[in-house]
Structure 1
């Protein structure tokens, strides 16, 4: 669109490895195609309070190796209000920003959709979240790095579990999605995964624990998706009561899962998506997310990627069951 001269870019919500690679890609691809690029600090909060800086190629030099986001991030409650969106729009007018590229998860993309609707403002989304729970893309920015981080941690925990013949419940992130727990359990050779998509009662828990423990001299690794009610501590306490003869431990990996230098896969994915986002602006696209499906970039309407739950492949739980005997 010829009227678009300046693109604003922001990162929102939880940070994810590879966000900097995406910022670098948008900045350099944008400048290459004749746009002025302005970085917005602290997500929507920074858009409200005019924390904006013009980006140059030098500003993004060397950041592809870094985790986190150089633009910082925040969760803005004010942006959810009409007054907050109005302030954000006024910032766009003041800074002469004609389009926005937003890197974040479902909450960030929801904010982009609402802003685009209310102010008829061109917005392009990039799925940046370690949870891999955004519909319309095979992978999200940060997911691969986080899986590798979890795998490294669990490999180390496995050494202690075997040495002491312990049962370890390892809690990983994921919120309402079990993609991290399921796939990391397979990659780490865990005996089981407890995920939100598969309701696991105590009998099922006892069955796969017994199957795994019997073959591994009482040592066992169970990967659990985080949950305020049924996290790793919950399941560990139940096992302690039912099987007091077992030595049970809990390891909550927490925020270390978010950090670290992004993997090659995440750097490539973020770079590809960043360039595709600029191409979408050039084509006059708006209110869409850039996704990767079957090794090809696609445009996914915000309404589709936000309202539709990403399919959880339960066949992989069967793979885990068969390999954990």
Structure 2
């Protein structure tokens, strides 16, 4: 087993097997005794495998071996409205058919039974569907070993193509059309993950800065909110960043670097101004954090990148 993910909504676990070239779903809602049997839990199937995909010959069924070799980092795409919500996503190390073989990020729409809500449909003497991947992104880098991927909230795909066990690799992010929007960066990691700016752990870092060990200014605001009522574009930017406030009355904008050090600050004189533009030609390339404070003192955070 080289990858595992938990779906809280289904109370199920999915894991991937590198040498079996397959992924599996099991019931997490069972008791210990139910897990050792063939009944019980939300699925009523106890510890039995609820779903498997990638190599039907493993369970004596004829069908396409959709995962031809190694597979890593199986995960559910967050079911929050983002593109392909609820799909399974895998790093298929040799999924591509080009020469040389390229790695792929494959999405699988599982045949979840809408009647039971916890089991998966399968025709008698047939492999679990679908017969092939539902979505596919062909990576720009191939990886023989441990690697990772994720579907971001904006629909972009994050890719960590490892160089193998302990080898060098790359991290990058592509948009829905396959254009690289972040990276590629050299990464000596077997498996890396990308956290978005509104991840709860990052929000906690923003609001709990230890000023005794850093030169940072504490964020003195009434509350920290995650809000979709403003947009940053283009992101990444190579020159000017535009901030669209929409329905917010913003009075201050602060820019921080990745160490939470205040880089610059702006005052918005017109409460009803809808778009505020900042030129970054004098800045160093890198990742920055934008803090917007509205007329109530509430704070909104977003991350952006500047690439010269």
Return the structure number with greater relative CO, CA threshold 8 A, min gap 6: 1
TM-score (norm 1): 0.26
TM-score (norm 2): 0.27
Higher strand share: 2
Look at both structures and tell me which one has the larger radius of gyration over its CA atoms.
2
